[in-house]
Amino acid sequence: MSATSLLQAVVDGVLTGGVYALMAAGLTLIFGVMDIINIAQGVMVVLGAYLSYELAVHAGIGLLPGLLITVPAMFVLGVAIEFCFMRRLRESDRTGMSILVTFAVAIVIEGVLSAIFGVDYVQLHAPYVDKSVHVLGFYLPWIYLIGFGLAAVLLAGLYYMLYRTQFGRAVRASLQNRTAADLIGINVSRTRTLSVGIGVAVTAVGGMVFGATNAFNPNSGYDLISRLLAIV
């Protein structure tokens, strides 16, 4: 392998890593805030990809503008899942039980997607998905550059939210000591609900990039979750 080919492989690996970081950001937030291992994260990424697919194919909405719809939709889904299932997990065995609960959620979402879309593979398409830019002798796919940029912006935004805002301080206080957080007036339940909503919402962005860089079907989430857990 030539030095140029090796460097190209390194660049491709860095860009791909950015895409996976984008998909794992929500999983990291939910685990860090609530000690919940969201096994459904991979399926939620696929759900985000299908939402982008539906908007692009049937509504004619581009992948990036479509995020204005898919991100709020996934936020609502995350809030509903936390309110209906995660909130009822006991503190003593929250992490272990979360695996079973979120796995059940994953099965339900995968079943619904299979019933609606079938098991055939699809992929997102846009004018910039199949194009590359040539920089300093390297070919950089536009969609990977977009994914890397979105990952950088989202991760920086999450960091700012957690360490520079009142909500972030409430999140960290709830994680460190729920009882103390309650005593100083923090609504722990609402804080956790919003945190899960945000964690699931960012999967819409990861799903869009994943769907544009990979063919996918409803079962793709199970292979994806193992990689995302390795990142976390």
Domain locations in the chain as residue ranges: 25-119+134-231
3-state helix, strand and coil shares in percent for the chain, rounded to the nearest 5: 80, 5, 20
CA 146, 213, 158, 229 torsion: positive or negative? negative
* Model confidence, pTM: 0.90
- The tally of CA atoms less than 13 A away on the side-chain side of residue 221 is 29
What was the pLDDT predicted at 1? 57
User: Could you state, in chain order, the average pLDDT of each consecutive group of 10 residues for the chain (232 residues)?
Assistant: 73 80 82 81 94 93 94 96 82 77 93 95 85 77 87 90 90 83 87 91 92 92 84 71
